[in-house]
Chains A and B, each alone.
Chain A
Amino acid sequence: MKFKTKLYIGFGFLFGLFITSYLVFIFVMEQLDKNTGEVVDNYEMLYLANTIESQMGTFSRESIGTIADPPPELVDQLDKNKEEAISNIHKAIAALERLDSRESSQELIQRLKEMSETYEAIEEEADQLRAEGNMEALKTLYWYEGRSAREEMMEVAKELQVLQQQTAAEKLNQSSDMYSLLKKMIVIYALVGFAIGVGMAIWTMRSITGNLNKVTTVMNKVAFRKSNKWPRIDISSKDEIGDIAVAFNEMAGTLEAHAREEEKLKHAAEEQSWLKTKVAEVATMYPGIDNLETLAQRFITKVTPMVGASYGVFYIRTSVDGEETFQKQAAYAYNHEDPAKDSFRLGEGIIGQCALEKRAMLMDHVPENYIRITSGLGSASPANVLVVPAEFQGEVLAVIELATLEPFKEGEKQLLKEVMGGIGINIKSIMRHMQIEKLLEESQSLTEELQLQQEELRTVNEQLEEQYENSEQKTKELEKIKLILEEKAQQLTLNSQYKSEFLANMSHELRTPLNSLLILAQMLAENASGNLTDKQVEYAKTIFSSGNDLLRLINDILDIAKVEAGKMEVIFEDVNIKDVQTFVETQFAPLAREKGVQLSVQLADELPETIYTDKQRLQQVLMNLLSNAFKFTHEGIVSLRVEKAQNKAARGPYTEADIAFIVKDTGIGIPKHKQEEIFEAFKQADGTISRKYGGTGLGLSISREIAHLLGGSIEVQSAEHQGSTFTLRVPQDQPHQQPEQSAASAEVAAGLPPQIEEPPPIKESHAAGSEKRSNSKTALLEGKKILIVDDDMRNIFALTTALESYHVDVLFAENGREGIDMLNGNPDIDLVLMDIMMPEINGFEAIRLIRKQAEFEQLPIIALTAKAMKDDRKRCIEAGASDYISKPVNLEQLFSTMRVWLYR
C-alpha cells in the first residue's frame, strides 16, 4: 500500500470519525433542541392555559362588578377590562389551538371555543339587559346562566392546564432520558474513536518510519563509508520509500559508476601529475649544471630508476677530428666488464642508428647474453632495452640506452619521451654555455697574456729607456767631448794652419837655399873642371842625393801642409786614361828594368776614354803608389790595372761610375794591423822600414788626402810576404759631395753593436746614479728659469733668495695678469710657482689662462695654496696645475717638488 494511501486511509478514517461524531453531536443537539422547544411550547401552552383561566377569572370579576351596580364613571372601565380579558382569552385560545396539535388538546380547545362563543352570547345578552336596566334579569342571567358557562369554561381551561402540565412533565423526562443516552453515546463514541485513531496513527507512523529508518540507516552507512561500493536499500514495498530506495539504489549505482570513472580519471591525473612531477624533478636538476659530464651523470642517475630501469648509459655527441661520434659520457649501474663500446659513429650500432633516425628504438626479446644487470646477489638479462635520442631543433645531441628487468610501462615511456625533450635543449645550452665559457676563459687568458706582454714590454721599454738614457748620456758626453775636441781641433786646425803656413813658408825658405845647394852639389859632382878627386866627386854626389832627399821631404811636408791647411788646389779636367798609361810606363819602365821587376799596365775594355779629374794629382798618387810598390818589391811583378770599380767591397757612396786604379805588387806586404797606420802621416809599417827603404812615410798620407780631394779613396789589401794591392778609386765624373762626412757616418753606423745590449744591472745604474748624485745640490735646478707669481713681495724676496742660492734664474710677477705677460715675454720659463690668493686675476684663473695657450700646455705649474683650504687643492688640479704645495712653504719640499717637475 502506498504511503499516500496509508496517509489517506489514516487521515480519512480520522476525518470520518470526526464527521460522524459531528453528525452525532448535531443530531443529539437537535434532539436536545427539539426537546427544549417542546418544553418551551408546553410551557407557553401552559402559560396560555393559565392565561385563559386567569382572564376568565378577571372577566368574571369585572362582570360581577358591573352587576353590582357600579358607579357610572367605573362602568366604562369595567367594560373595557371585560373586553380586554375576552380578547386575551381569544388570543390565547387561538395561540393554543395553533400550538397544540394534539387531538385531546384540540378537542378541549374546540370545546373551549364553543363555550367562549356561548359565553359571549350570554354576555351580549347581559349587556343588553344592563343597557335596559333590567338588573334583575341581568343578575339572574349572570348568576345562573353566566355562572355555569364560566365554570364550565374554567373547568376546560383547568383540564387544558393539567394536560399541558402533564405534557411538560413528559417532555422533561423525555429530554432527561435523551441527555443520558447522548452522554453514554458520546463517551462510547469517544473511546472507540480514540482507540481507532491511536491505532490508525500508530499503524501509519510505524509503516512510514520503519522504512524511513531503513533508508536512514543505509544512508548513514554511506556517510561513514568511503569506498566506492555503495550499500543498497532492501525494501520491496511499493510505496514512496520504496521509490526512494529504488532511486537511492539507482543513485548509488550511478555514483558507483561515477566513482569508478572518477577513480579512473584520478588515476590518469595522478599518472599525469607523476609524469609532470618527475619531469619537473628532472628539470629542476638542470640549473647550476655547467658541464656535460655532470649533466649526463646526474641525468642518467636520476632518470634510470625513475623509469624503472636498472641499467643506463648516456652517450653524448662529440666531434672528434671533424667526425661526429657518440661517446659514453655517464652510466648507471654500468658493468665495466661489459664488452660494450664507448663510442659510436652516426649510424653505427643501435646507438648510431637511433641518432641517425632520430627515433627511440625498443628491443623486446633481448638474448640471454646481451647484457646482464648485476647486483651482489646475482645477475639477470634485461627484458627490454630501450634506446632514446635527445634532440634539439632536429639535431640529435645525445642518446641514452636503458635496460629493464620488466617491460617498460606506458607512463615510463611517456616520461622518458618528456625528459628527453628537456635534456636536448639543456645539452645545447650547456654546450653553448661551455663554448662561451671557453671563449671567455680564452679571452681572459688572452687579456692576461696581453697584460703580461704589456708588462714585459714595459720592462723592455724601461730597459731600453735606461739604455737610451745611458747612451744619451754617453752621446751627450761624447758630444761634449766632441765639442771639446772640435774646439781643440779647431785650435789645432788653426795651429796646424799656422804650422802649415809656417811650414809652407819654411819649405819655401828652405827650398831656395836647398836648390842652390843642390845645383852647386850637382855642378861639383859633374866635376866639369876635373880637379876633384873621385872621393870628392862621391861626396858631392852624396850631398846632391841627400839634398834631393831633403827636397823631396820638404816637398812632401809642403804638400801635406797644403792639404791640411786646405790649400791644395785641384783642377778638374778631362783626363785621357791612355795618357795616364803612357805616363806610368815612361816613368817606371826604366826603374823596372833597373830592379829587374816586371811592370805591367793594363786598361780594362769597358773603360771610358776620359775621366774628369785632376791629372796632376792623379799622377802624383799613382807615382806614389807605384814607387812604393817598386820600393818594396824585389822580384816579381808590379802591375797597374785600371777598371771600373767593383761595388761590393766598397764602403761609402761609390757608384759604378768610379774608376779603380789597382796597383799590385809581389813585395813584402803589410801586416793587417798596420794597414791603417800606413796612411797616417809620418808612419810607416815598421819603424825599421825607413831605415831599410828610406822614405818619409808621408807619401801614402798625402795620397789619401789627394784621393779624398778628388772625391775618391785609397784602400789596401795585403798580407805579409804576399804582396800588397792598393786601390785608388776616383769618380769618373763629378766628385761626390762631402765624402768624408759620409764615410764618417757610415763608420758610426757600422760601429753600432748589432743587438740591443743588455741593460746594465740595476746595481750598476745605481752606482751611476750615485756618481751623478755627487754632482751637487743644485742638480736639476741650476740654470733653470723660474717664474714666481705672488702679490706679496716678501714671499717673492724669500723665495728668490732661496732659489738663487741654487743658481736658479728667478723672474717674478705680482699678479696673475702680470704673470701671464711675463710668461709670454719669456717663453723659455721652465716652471711657474703660482700663488692662489691674489688680487685681480687669482691663481686658478691665471693657471686656466696659461693652460689655454698651446705652448704652455705642458709647462709645470706648482700652485701654492693655503694649507687650511682643502678644497683649494682640488680646484688647483682642476684649473690645470701640475702639483700643489701648501703655504707656508717648506723649502726642502718645494725643491723636491720642483725637481720632480723640472726633470727632463
Chain B
Amino acid sequence: MNNKIEAEKELETIEINLLLEGIYRYYGYDFRNYAGPFLNRRIWNRMRAENIATISSLQERVLHDPTAMKKLFRDFSINVTEMFRDPGFFLAFRTKVVPYLREQPSIRLWHVGCSTGEEVYSMAILLHEEGLYEKTRIYATDMNEEVLKEAENGEFPLHRMQLYTRNYLAAGGTTAFSEYYSAKDNHAVFHPFLTKNVVFAQHNLATDRSFNEFHVIICRNVLIYFDKILQNRVYHLLHNSLSPSGILGLGSKEGIKFANIVNSYEEVDPIEKLYRKIK
C-alpha cells in the first residue's frame, strides 16, 4: 500500500518536473524552482478544472495549446495584494525609512512582484505625502504582463476601497484617502500623477538579472513562491541590486534569518521586515 503511494508520488514528481521543464524549454517561463507544494496544488487545481486525469495529459495540452498554457500561467501567478497591505509595514516605512530617504538626492525604488500595482500606488501616495515623490523613481516589476497592464490602469475595485481606506488610515495617511481617486462605477480610478514617476516593466526573478542599483527594494510575499535554491538566488540578486545602506523590505511572514545573506543586513524593523544593507 505504502509502496504504491510512494510510487505514485515519485511519478507525480517526475511528471511535474517534465511539465515544468517543457514549459521552460518551449515557452521560456521558468517555474522549475517554485515551491513544490504550491506547484502541486496549482497543477491539480488546473487539472480538476479541465477534467484532466494525469499531469502528463496536462503537459500535452499545455505544450500544444497556448491558451492552456495561458491558463496555467495564470494559475501560477498569484496576484494577492491590497493597498497599504500590512499597514504596519507602511507605517514603519514612513517613520524609519523616510528619514534615510530624505538625505538622498534622488531615490530609486524597486518594487519586485508588484502584481496589480496596489502597493505601488500606496508607496507613491506615501512618498507624495512625505514630499519625496518628486525625486523618486519607482520601478515596478512583475513576471505577469497582464497584471502589469492592470497596474498601469490604476483602477481598483470599489468594493475593496473600504478596506483600503482603513489600511491607509492605519498606515499613517495624512490626508483624506479620497483625494487620490475618483469613483467610476465599480472602480476607484487613481489620479494619474501617482504613476508619473513609476516605470512598469516585466521582470522575471527566476530568469532575469539586476537592472539598476536601488535605494529601496520592496519584495513582499514573492519569495514564498520559490524553493530554497531560487530564494537564495533571488536574495543575491536583490543584494546586488541594493546600494550600500539600501533598504530591503520583505513580506510579513518572510525573513532573511535563514538566507545566506543574513550577515550583510541589519534590522531596521524586525517585525515589519525592514532591513538595511551593511556590507
Seen from chain A, the residues whose Cβ lies within 8 Å of a Cβ on chain B are: 437, 440-441, 444-445, 447-456, 458-460, 462, 755-758, 761-763, 769, 772-773, 775, 779-780, 860, 870, 873, 877, 882-886, 892-901, 903-904
User: What residues on A are CB-neighbors of B158 within 8 Å?
Assistant: 780, 899-900, 903
Which residues from A are CB-within-8-Å of B87? none
Q: List 18 A-B contacts (CB under 8 A).
A: A437-B258, A452-B78, A452-B224, A453-B41, A456-B41, A456-B42, A763-B146, A769-B186, A773-B184, A773-B185, A773-B186, A780-B186, A883-B177, A896-B181, A896-B183, A898-B183, A900-B162, A903-B162
Interface residue ranges, B against A (CB under 8 Å): 35, 37-38, 41-42, 45, 48-49, 51, 71, 74, 78-80, 146, 150, 158-159, 161-162, 165, 169, 174-179, 181-188, 221, 223-225, 228, 251-255, 257-258
A898 to B185, CA, bound (A): 11
Q: Is the CB of A779 within 8 A of B185?
A: yes
A772-B185, A896-B182 given; A447·B258 CB < 8 A: no
Are A448 and B174 CB-contacts (below 8 A) given A459-B79, A775-B185, A895-B183?
Answer: no
Do B221 and A870 touch (CB < 8 A)? no
CA of A347 to CA of B184, assembled, Å: 80
Give bound CA distance, A758 to B71, whole Å: 10
Tell me whether A870 and B80 are in contact (CB under 8 A): no
CB-CB < 8 A to B225: which residues of A?
452
Closest CB in chain B relative to A173 CB, distance in Å = 126
Of B35, B49, B182, the contact of A449 (CB 8 Å cutoff): B35
Residue ID in chain A nearest B181 by CB atoms: A896
Asked whether B48 lies within 8 Å of A755 as measured between CB atoms, the reply is yes
Chain B nearest CB, measured from A700 CB (Å):
37
| Chain B proximity of A863: nearest CB distance (Å) | 10
B261 CB to closest chain A CB, in angstroms?
15
Which residues in A have their C-beta under 8 angstroms from that of B185?
A: 769, 772-773, 775, 779-780
**B49, B175, B224, B225: which has the most chain A beta carbons within 10 Å?**
B224
- In the complex where A455-B78, A456-B41, A900-B162 touch, is A893 in contact with B178 (Cβ < 8 A)? yes
State which of A437, A458, A893, A896 has its C-beta within 8 Å of the C-beta of B80: A458
Contacts of A870 in B (CB 8 A): 174
Knowing A459-B78, A884-B176 touch, does A762 contact B150 (C-beta < 8 A)? Answer: yes
Whether the Cβ atoms of B186 and A448 lie closer than 8 Å is no
A870 to B129, CA, bound (A): 13
Contact B178 A897 (CB under 8 A): yes
Select A452's contact among B38, B71, B74, beta carbons within 8 Å. B38
List the 3 closest pairs (A to B, CB-CB), nearest first.
Answer: A896-B183, A899-B183, A451-B253
Q: Are B186's CB and A900's CB within 8 A?
A: no
The one of B45, B182, B254 that contacts A892, using a Cβ cutoff of 8 Å? B182
- Report the Cα distance A387→B179, complex, angstroms: 78
CA distance A892 to B253 in the complex (A): 39
Partner of B188, one of A441, A452, A453, A896: A896
Given A450-B253, A452-B224, verify A896-B178 contact (CB < 8 Å).
yes
Q: Which residues of A contact B162 (CB under 8 A)?
A: 860, 882, 900-901, 903
List the B residue with the shortest CB-CB distance to A781: B183
Residues of B within 8 A of A883 (CB): 165, 176-178
A441 to B178, CA, bound (A): 43
Cα separation A896 to B71 with both chains bound (whole Å):
34
Partner of B221 from the list A437, A455, A860, A899 (CB cut-off 8 Å) is A455
Instruction: Specify which chain B residues have a CB less than 8 angstroms from the CB of A775 in the assembled complex.
Output: 185
User: Which A residues touch B252, using CB under 8 A?
Assistant: 451
Q: Which residue of chain B has the shortest Cβ distance to A460 in the bound complex?
A: B45
A326–B178 alpha-carbon span in the complex (Å): 69
Q: Tell me the minimal C-beta distance from A246 to chain B in angstroms.
A: 73
- Minimum distance in angstroms from B242 CB to a CB of chain A: 21
Q: Which residues of B contact A772 (CB under 8 A)?
A: 185-186
Known: A448-B223, A769-B185, A870-B174. A441 touches B74 (CB 8 A): no
The one of A769, A860, A898 in contact with B187, judged by C-beta atoms closer than 8 angstroms, is A769
* Cβ contact of A456, chosen from B78, B251, B253, cutoff 8 A: B78
Among residues of A, the one whose C-beta sits closest to the C-beta of B46 is A758
Q: Within the assembled complex, what's the spacing in Å between the Cα atoms of A99 and B79?
A: 163
Minimal beta-carbon separation of A458 from chain B (angstroms): 5
Q: A882–B165 Cα gap in the complex (Å)?
A: 8
Say whether, besides A452-B35, A883-B176, A900-B183, A761 and B49 are in contact (CB < 8 Å).
no
Q: A448-B224, A899-B158 are in contact. List 8 more A-B contacts (CB 8 A).
A: A451-B254, A460-B45, A775-B185, A780-B183, A893-B179, A897-B178, A897-B183, A899-B183
Whose C-beta in chain A lies nearest to the C-beta of B34? A452
Distance in angstroms between the alpha carbons of A769 and B184 in the assembled complex = 11
Q: Which residues of B contact A884 (CB under 8 A)?
A: 176
B143 to chain A, nearest CB (A): 15
Asked whether B179 lies within 8 Å of A449 as measured between CB atoms, the reply is no
Given contact pairs A755-B49, A893-B182, A900-B183, A873 touches B176 in the complex (Cβ within 8 A) = yes
- Asked, given contacts A449-B37, A451-B224, A893-B178, whether A900 binds B161 with beta carbons under 8 Å apart, the answer is yes
- Least Cβ–Cβ distance between A456 and chain B, in angstroms: 6
Partner of B161 from the list A454, A895, A903, A904 (CB cut-off 8 Å) is: A903
Q: Which residues of A contact B255 (CB under 8 A)?
A: 444
Contacts of B183 in A (CB 8 A): 780, 895-900
Question: For A899, what are the chain B residues with a Cβ–Cβ distance below 8 Å?
Answer: 158, 183, 188
Q: How far is the CA of A462 from the CA of B78 in the complex (A)?
A: 11
A772 to B157 Cα, complex, angstroms: 13
CB distance from A802 to the nearest CB of B (A): 15
In the bound complex, residues from chain B placing their C-beta under 8 Å from that of A893 are 176, 178-179, 182
Nearest A residue to B177 via CB reads: A883
- List chain B residues, Cβ under 8 A from A450: 253
User: Assuming the A-B contacts A884-B176, A885-B176, are A455 and B159 also in contact, with contact meaning beta carbons closer than 8 angstroms in the complex?
Assistant: no
A892: which B residues are within 8 A, CB to CB? 182
Cα(A900)–Cα(B185), bound, Å: 10
A453 to B161, CA, bound (A): 24
Q: A860 to B224, alpha carbons, bound, how many Å? A: 37
Of all chain A residues, the one with the shortest Cβ separation from B79 is A459
Cα of A391 to Cα of B174 in the assembled complex, Å = 63
CB closest residue in chain A, given B77: A459
Verify B258–A441 contact, CB threshold 8 A: yes
Q: Across the interface, do A885 and B49 meet the contact criterion of CB distance under 8 Å?
A: no
Measured CA separation A775–B49 after assembly (Å): 33
From B161, B178, B228, B251, give the contact of A451 (CB < 8 A). Answer: B251
| Complex contacts, A903 vs chain B, CB 8 Å | 158-159, 161-162, 186
Nearest neighbor of B223 in chain A, beta-carbon distance: A448
Q: Which residues of A contact B51 (CB under 8 A)?
A: 755
Residues of chain B with a CB closer than 8 A to A452's CB: 35, 38, 78, 224-225
In whole Å, how far is A389's beta carbon from the nearest beta carbon of chain B?
33
B251 cross-chain contacts in A, Cβ below 8 A: 451
Minimum CB–CB distance from A423 to chain B (whole Å) comes to 25
Residues in chain B near residue A762, CB distance under 8 A? 146, 150
Return the contact of A900 from the options B74, B78, B178 (Cβ within 8 A).
B178
Closest Cβ of chain B to A892, distance in Å, is: 5
Residue of A nearest to B153 (CB): A766
Contacts of B221 in A (CB 8 A): 451, 455
CA distance A32 to B45 in the complex (A): 156
- Cβ–Cβ contact A456 & B179, under 8 A: no
